[in-house]
Amino acid sequence: MAKSVELSNGRVWKTKKAAEQHFRDMLARYRDGDHISDYQDHIDLSALLERFDLLVSDGPSKIGAGIKRFERRLNKGDGWSSPGFWVVRVDGTPTDFSYVQAVVGRPKSDADEFSVACHNAVSRDLLGMKQKQFDHFADADGLIACDITGNLVAYSEAQLSHAHPPFGIIVKEFRKSKGWGDIVPPGILTASADAQISTHFADDAIGREFLNFHHDRAVLRIVGKDRPPTSMSAAITVNRPLRFR
């Protein structure tokens, strides 16, 4: 049975999907840089942030000294950007929070956080590899063939995908090689903090170690973003097997 979502202000949704859609629609009504000006939107976000602090946060309270306002801001990382809600506290300090996680109502698992840190460690190199493929293989119109379908795709329509082994398997092998199969020791990953959009390795040396580990194992391919993921048993055609070494 689907679990309902109930906030402290009395708002109730029968499913988490419905609650998430409510806040997704809210986000779409504003532009980057806008303050959340609608009173009901502010009240709903305040109650959602209470849920985040209660059920999700494993660090300092997102509400902190109190809520002054909410804003829509553009969160940015290596090769990606996405809009999100930010809270500005009464003392003027701002921080981000995930409305999706708040609706789900549970923190990310140890495995999820570790995988995110691993991806952040290689994200710049993956972007460089993608750009290199378009620099060398794109046609006069800037298009390149998808390694699964053969359809021509532009840079914005393409993504660099792991042909084999999957990224998750590489991450598990790295954890095992470090003796962290069961649990990641404290201090390996960055702790939750204001305006920390994503988890990283606290020690850059570990990030570089995973980067090299990934380079030795990953075989990549260019695929269209609208291409559904293939299973390990599905036929895989890699026209240009891409390796870092």
The CATH number given to whatever domain includes residue 62 is 3.10.450.40
pLDDT, position 230: 43
Residues 205 and 152 in one domain: yes
Handedness of CA 164, 218, 221, 126 (dihedral sign): positive
Q: Give the end of a domain, one of 79, 104, 129.
A: 104
pTM of the model: 0.67
Confidence check: pLDDT of 38 > 50:
yes
Span 151-167, average pLDDT: 90
- State the number of CA atoms in the 13 A half-sphere of 166 facing the CB: 9
pLDDT, position 172: 93
Residues 177 and 206 in one domain: yes
Dihedral angle at the C-alpha atoms of 158, 233, 220, 78, nearest 10 degrees?
60
Residue type, 7: L
Residues 68 and 90 in one domain: yes
Q: Over the chain, what is the mean pLDDT?
A: 88
Domain containing 160 equals 110-224
Confidence check: pLDDT of 235 > 80:
no
pLDDT, position 26: 98
Confidence check: pLDDT of 108 > 70:
yes
Number of domains observed in the structure of the chain: 2
Q: Does 244 fall in a domain?
A: no
Span 138-151, average pLDDT: 91
pLDDT, position 199: 87
Q: Does 230 fall in a domain?
A: no
Residues making up the chain, counted from first to last? 245
pLDDT, position 238: 41
Span 221-244, average pLDDT: 54
53/77: higher pLDDT: 53
Summarize pLDDT for 66-99 with one digit per residue, the tens: 999 999 999 987 777 899 999 999 999 999 999 9
Q: Give the end of a domain, one of 65, 84, 104.
A: 104
pLDDT, position 231: 36
Span 4-21, average pLDDT: 94
Residues 95 and 133 in one domain: no
